Amino acid sequence: MTNHFVDYQHTDVFLMIGSNSAENHPQSMRWIGKAKRNRGAKLIVVDPRLTKSTVYADIFARHRPGTDIPFLLGIMNYAIQNNLYHKEYVVNYTNASYLVNPEFGFNDGLFSGAGEKNGRVTYDKATWQYQKDGETIKKDPTLKHPNCVFQLLKKHVSRYDIKTVSNITGIPEDVYRKVCETFASTGAPNKSGNIIYAMGITQHTTGTQNVRAIAMLQLLLGNIGRPGGGVNAQRGESNVQGSTDLAMLSHLLPGYLGVPNATKHKNLQDYIERETPASGYWKNKPKFLISLLKAFYGQHAAKENDFCFDLLPKVDGKNRTHMGIFQEMMAGNIKGFLAWGQNPAVGGPGASYERKAMEKLDWLVVVDLFETETAAFWHAPGVNPQNINTEVFLLPAAFSYEKQGTVTNSGRWIQWRYQAVNPPGEAKSDLWIADRLFKAIRKEYQSGGRFPDPILKMNWDYDIPGHDEPDVEKVAVEINGYEIGKNEPLDSFGKLKDDGSTACGMWIYTGYMAVDKDLNVPNCKRRSREDSGLGSFLKYSFSWPLNRRIIYNRCAADMDGNPWDPERALFKWDGNKWICHDVPDFGGGKPPRESGAAPFIMLPEGHGRLFASGPVDGPFPEHYEPMESPTENIISKQQAAPCANVFKGDWAKLAELGDPNYPIVATTHRTIEHYQSGAVTRSCPTLAEIGPYMYVSVSEELAKEKGIKPGDDVWVETARGKIKCKASVLPVVKPLIVNGRKVEIVGMPWCFGYQGIVTGPVANDLVPAVGDGNTSIPESKAFMCNIRKA
């Protein structure tokens, strides 16, 4: 989230798309309620289903799964055509005025530079670049030049008029026009619009471009970096923000540093030269990487040996994301697997394939609270344990309040939580398990082995004499960063060095363990409600980076330093200095014209990107149908996402367009009673009792047609498999008119499995193994199925 939950009180119009906050992020709904009551805010909810959130909406737009891009681009088109965008913001804070290579073009669904490799479109991005005069980017602040970003955007989105969007999405024209009017009203300089999203946006083959479309709409309306605005990805787990920051991901090191890649980085110098931009805050990248290497390899890391850069494993260019890993497992290329606090047997796309892949393992280690479906894959229903030769270890872990440490919420607040009780029986904290396991591995390597250096040279010293638990505060200080030879946690990543004199596990958290001088506790342990009136709560916990509550916050004021709305003044230049209600990201001393020249500090060009050459699949979002779709793409002849990642095997089998066996659109969702795959909550009696059954939501029309009554058992079938569950027949889903034809939609929660107090079939067994071209996030939110009475 660029903003945070308490800040929602300042919003004028909420656009909630691909998120059911009332069930899955109930606090966000409470703050939306405050904004509605106190400032008359409007709530637009866009969802294929009538949810608990839609009930609270001023406008409910029921759209077909997989049509978010036309929906969002259509609002941009409306705002541009009707002159409702935030002109001053767009001219000064975005790249709207930049001139793009005149060769850039777009034709019938594909951008210039399209080529083909292994049946997939790959782009040469040469024409997606800015025009330059030496090192200076050419601009036209009048926004009239035909090659300027604004004109290119205007032309691109002009195809998404209200009628076309209505045809694709299934939203009636009058409802969609109302959406456009209402959300585009936040283009007025003194209004704030807030876009809230979750997995309904990301779990598509166009997921990255869905998010891009949200960010672009917010730039166009001047809604980023200011109170009540923002691009707010509401995250699904208590610490998924933190675990993402800490890069439990194949392509990253902690703090969003790219992982070394054998095809690009021979050595440290190569990495630094290729990955460090000349301008923008990332020009400090070498300081962050070398401080990370010092945290990892301690005294072994020295200038002479590239700070042990070579000890980090380098990736090989193969897809090592979730689906890529399970495909490799099925192929027999992965022998051992550690499933630490995750349950892919239920949560993974094509989950039945993933369970099958686990049978190929020599050994599997599961670390969890309960015997999850992943731990129990070898005795799942229909599986004969005798046929499975995998050795399985199940290690009992401690729950959140049976240990201490920090978690980072969606709004980037890092909070310390304390231990209430000891873990039951012999269960141990994950910190203890990681520590002891690594020590056990080291012991094995004392007597030799293949290249033991990375293991033996890893800095690992967290013992407290006389204590069983490792020193969690010491780990935290290492993440925070310190000067070598001093134990003081640093208070700013501005103090990190690239000469080996500082160590820092993850630069973006620097300051979270620094001691607050007034409260005398580390920043992440602060619990003071002191506030200057806007709800920034700067003395409550620590918000990365540098306790900043709203990022890109220079945009909260105009070029002269006046807040867009005096009632919600995050910053104001009084002629000599800034009056601040947040931590500025523009250096508190810089006068407004200077700091306003490059407010998007992380980007080399310093301006928000309405046009971006980063994504593999285009500088603008474009509508493509989901890989499985009920209709041809009416906006171009390119049917599906041209750069999507398609995997191999049964789990990637797709229904052809128009296949009469699979005429119904399916989507998945969560419920308030269960958390994720249900691995924890289905073993909790109170939650199991209120969320007992797996079900599929079917429209009243479809139920009538198929002779299904509420509570009947039904089969849901896809090209990958089928599951049996109960039918819920309510106006939760309704058929939509798409391109003139009626399309039925069904929805299924994905929180059930075969373990726990309450059990049910796994919805993810039905999801195809196809993923976004940039991220490989699976397309769980739009696929085709059929349904019949069991």
Partner 1 sequence: MFAAPAAASEVQTAANGNLAAKLTKLKETFTVCSYCGCGCGILLYSDGERIVFAEGDPDHPINEGTLCPKGNGIIDVYNVVNRKHKRRIINPRRITKPLYRAPGAAQWQEISWDEALARIAKRIKKTRDETFEEKDKNGITVNRTTAIGALGSASLDNEENYLLHKMFRALGIINMEHHARL
Amino acid identity, position 210: N
Residue 366's φ and ψ, nearest 5 degrees, are: -115, 130
Using the minimum distance from each CB to partner 1, give the nearer residue, 281 or 340. Answer: 340
Using the minimum distance from each CB to partner 1, give the nearer residue, 133 or 426. Answer: 426
Q: How far is the CB of 256 from partner 1 (least distance, A)?
A: 12
Cβ neighbour number for residue 639 with a 10 Å cutoff: 16
Helices (H), 185-331: 199-202, 207-220, 240-245, 268-275, 285-297, 322-330
With residue 340 as reference, give the H or E element that holds it. Answer: strand 336-340
Using the minimum distance from each CB to partner 1, give the nearer residue, 167 or 194. Answer: 194
With residue 443 as reference, give the H or E element that holds it. Answer: helix 430-446
On the question of a cis peptide bond just before residue 545, with omega within 30 degrees of 0, the verdict is yes
Using the minimum distance from each CB to partner 1, give the nearer residue, 128 or 296. Answer: 296
The gap between the terminal CA atoms of the chain, to the nearest Å, is 43
For residues 722 and 715, give the distance between their C-alpha atoms in angstroms, rounded to a whole number: 7
Q: How far is the CB of 159 from partner 1 (least distance, A)?
A: 32
Q: How far is the CB of 413 from partner 1 (least distance, A)?
A: 6
Q: Do 626 and 640 contact (CB within 8 A), yes or no?
A: yes
Using the minimum distance from each CB to partner 1, give the nearer residue, 317 or 711. Answer: 317
Using the minimum distance from each CB to partner 1, give the nearer residue, 152 or 476. Answer: 476
Q: Which two tokens stand for residue 319?
A: 């897809």
Q: How far is the CB of 370 from partner 1 (least distance, A)?
A: 5
421: left (phi over 0), alpha (psi -120 to 50) or beta: beta
Q: How far is the CB of 132 from partner 1 (least distance, A)?
A: 33
Q: Do 78 and 180 contact (CB within 8 A), yes or no?
A: yes
541: left (phi over 0), alpha (psi -120 to 50) or beta: left
Burial class of 388 by CB neighbour count within 10 A (0 to 12, 13 to 18, 19+): middle
Using the minimum distance from each CB to partner 1, give the nearer residue, 180 or 666. Answer: 666
Q: Which of 60, 64, 79 is nearest to 168 (CA)?
A: 64
Using the minimum distance from each CB to partner 1, give the nearer residue, 314 or 722. Answer: 314
Q: How far is the CB of 504 from partner 1 (least distance, A)?
A: 11
Using the minimum distance from each CB to partner 1, give the nearer residue, 244 or 639. Answer: 244
Q: How far is the CB of 406 from partner 1 (least distance, A)?
A: 5
Q: Where are the beta strands (DSSP E) in 455-522?
A: 482-483, 502-503, 515-516, 521-522
Using the minimum distance from each CB to partner 1, give the nearer residue, 117 or 529. Answer: 529
Question: Which residues are within 8 A (CB) of 261 and not within 5 positions of it... i.e. 6 or more apart?
Answer: 314, 315, 317
186-205 core/surface letters (b: 16 or more CB in 10 A; e: else):
bbbeebbbbbbbbbbbbbbb
Amino acid identity, position 478: E
Q: How far is the CB of 655 from partner 1 (least distance, A)?
A: 22
Using the minimum distance from each CB to partner 1, give the nearer residue, 427 or 737. Answer: 427
Q: Which of 459, 465, 523, 537 is nearest to 489 (CA)?
A: 523
Q: How far is the CB of 49 from partner 1 (least distance, A)?
A: 19
With residue 430 as reference, give the H or E element that holds it. Answer: helix 430-446
Q: How far is the CB of 169 from partner 1 (least distance, A)?
A: 25
Q: How far is the CB of 266 from partner 1 (least distance, A)?
A: 6
